[in-house]
Amino acid sequence: MNSFWNRFSRNKSAVLGLFILGLVVFMASIAGLIYPDDPFLYSRFPLSGPGVNGFLLGSDSIGRDVASGIAHGAKTSLLIGLIATLAAVFIGVIFGAFAGYYGGLVDDVLMRITEVFQTIPSFVFAILLVAIMKPSIESVVIAITVVSWPAVARLVRGEFLALKNREFVQACHTLGMGDVRIMMAEILPNCLSPIIVIGSLMVATAILIESGLAFLGLGDPNVMSWGFQISDGRSMLRVAWWICTFPGIAILITVLAINLVGEGLNDALNPRLRERN
């Protein structure tokens, strides 16, 4: 664990990413303290510029505080990203593990299914799913999960395919070990690194998908989010640039930070790749 941190911290931009991500998480967790009011609460001062009328980052067309929206929206984005990723990793690992380990017909069937899901344009599919299920936090999480798991399944399948023929797995067979134990206790721990890396990058993608959905009006109407703010400010683009700009920067910084952390994890967990540079 210590050597892992040493390797991770050697990558300066990853440490920076982790720091920024920490700040965003911190902001999300204290949003209720610094902005105790409902972020949907409107005021008498619509379209105030940044710094005007006591609005740090301005207010929108009906006088809602942009800064408050960003702070509360952080929670939405991070939670959706995290939950959808966990669910996608769970499904993907199960699909990939069975396909890769058993091969043959099981592999064929599972991989054909995965292939169908991978062929479908994922964002269009997410739009469709949310539109059918009616926009809500749950439907957004489900939609992101449904479009994200195939990447994990393919990765895990590849790892299992490669590892199941390794001699240490064959040795387990000669000892009479059962399949489930071989899969979970012997093979899975050996492919945790790439799963962690792809998972961290998927959180970033999930946040981007969520904001895109919200921008198209498919966010949960009762929950403040960055995409909702941008979509709402779009019609005011000519008169109030700040409504769209600041939430966009928030997304950019968060996603960037997560990507940096993901790359740092990749370097730290796969020393092989690092040596090349």
Partner 1 sequence: MNRSSKILRYVAKRLIQGIPIILAIVVMNFFLLNLAEGDAVDVLAGEAGSATPEYMEEMRKKFGLDKPLPVQLAVYLKNVVQLDLGRSHRHDMPVTELIVDRLWPTLLLMTSTIMLAVGFGILLGLFAAINLNTWKDAMISVFALITYATPLFWVGLMMIILFSIKNDWFPTSGMENSAAFYEGFDRVKDIAHHLVLPTITLSLFYLALYTRMMRASMLEQYGQDYVITARAKGLTERRITFVHVLRNALLPVVTMAGVQVGALIGGSVIVESVFAWPGLGMLAFESLFARDLNLLLGIFLLSSVLVVAVNLVVDIIYCFLDPRIEVN
Partner 2 sequence: MTNTLLTISNLDISLPEGSERSLAVENLCVDLAPGETLCIVGESGSGKSLTARALMGLLPAPHVRVSKGSINFCGEDLIQASERRLREIRGSEISMIFQEPMTALNPVMTIGTQIDEIFRYHVAMPAKERRQRAIQLLEDVQLPDPEKIVSAYPHELSGGQRQRAMIAMALSLEPKIIIADEPTTALDVTTQAQILKLISDMQALHKTGVLFITHDFGVVADIADRVAVMQNGRVVETGSVDEVLNRPEHDYTKKLISSVPSLIPRPPRTRSADVVLAVQNVQKTFGDGKSFFGFGKPNRVVHAVKNVSLELCRGETLGVVGESGSGKSTLARCIIRLLENDSGKIMLDGINLCDLNRKEMRPWRAKIQMIFQDPYASLNPRVKVGQIIAQGPMIQGANKKEAEARTRELLEIVGLDERAFNRYPHEFSGGQRQRIGIARALALDPEILVADEPVSALDVSIQAQILKLLDEIRERMNLSMVFITHDLRVAAQVCDRLAVMRYGEIVETGVTGQIFNAPQHSYTRDLLAAVPGQKWDR
Which residues bind to partner 1, rule: CB under 8 A?
112-113, 115-116, 118-129, 131-132, 204, 208, 211-212, 215-218, 227, 230-231, 234, 237-238, 241, 244-245, 248, 251-253, 255-256, 259-260, 276-277
Structure tokens at 6: 């040493």
Residue 45 and residue 64 in contact, taking contact as beta carbons nearer than 8 Å: no
Please identify, using beta-carbon distances, which residue of 159 and 169 lies nearer to partner 1: 159
261, 21 in Cβ contact below 8 A? Answer: yes
**Binding string to partner 2 for residues 54 to 93, with x set by CB under 8 A, is what?**
----------------------------------------
Q: Which of 2, 174, 222, 277 touches partner 2 (CB under 8 A)? A: 174
Alpha carbon distance 147, 126 (integer Å): 7
What does the DSSP assignment read for 94-150?
Answer: HHHHHHHHH-HHHHHHHHHHHHHHHHS-HHHHHHHHHHHH-SSHHHHHHHHHHHHHH
Near partner 2 in 176-205, by CB under 8 A: 176-177, 186, 189-190
Tell me which residue of 233, 192, 172, 223 sits closest to 28, measured CA to CA: 223
Pick between residue 28 and residue 260 the one whose CB is nearest to partner 1.
Answer: 260
> Applying CB under 8 A, does 270 fall inside the site for partner 2?
no
CB pairs under 8 A, 24+ apart, for 269-272? 269/4, 269/193, 269/194, 269/196, 269/197, 270/193, 270/194, 270/197, 271/7
Q: Which does 172 bind (CB under 5 to 8 A by kind): partner 2, partner 1, none?
A: partner 2
φ, ψ for residue 177, nearest 5 deg: -70, 150
Minimum CB distance to partner 2 smaller for 105 or for 132: 105
Neighbours of 208 (CB within 10 A): 18
| Least separation in angstroms between CB 203 and partner 1 | 12
Can residue 173 be called a binding residue for partner 2 (CB under 8 A)?
A: yes
Q: Which is nearer to partner 2, 163 or 261 (CB)?
A: 163
Closest to partner 2 by CB, 36 or 189: 189
Least distance to partner 2, CB of residue 269, Å: 13
Q: How far apart are CA 114 and CA 236, in angstroms?
A: 42
- DSSP string covering 157-183, please? HHHHHHHHTSHHHHHHHHTT--HHHII
168 binds partner 2 (CB under 8 A): yes
Q: Which is nearer to partner 1, 59 or 266 (CB)?
A: 266
The entry of partner 1, partner 2, none near residue 174 (CB within 5 to 8 angstroms by kind) is partner 2
Q: What are the structure tokens assigned to 126, written together? A: 């997410």
Residues found near partner 2 in the complex (CB under 8 A): 166-177, 186, 189-190
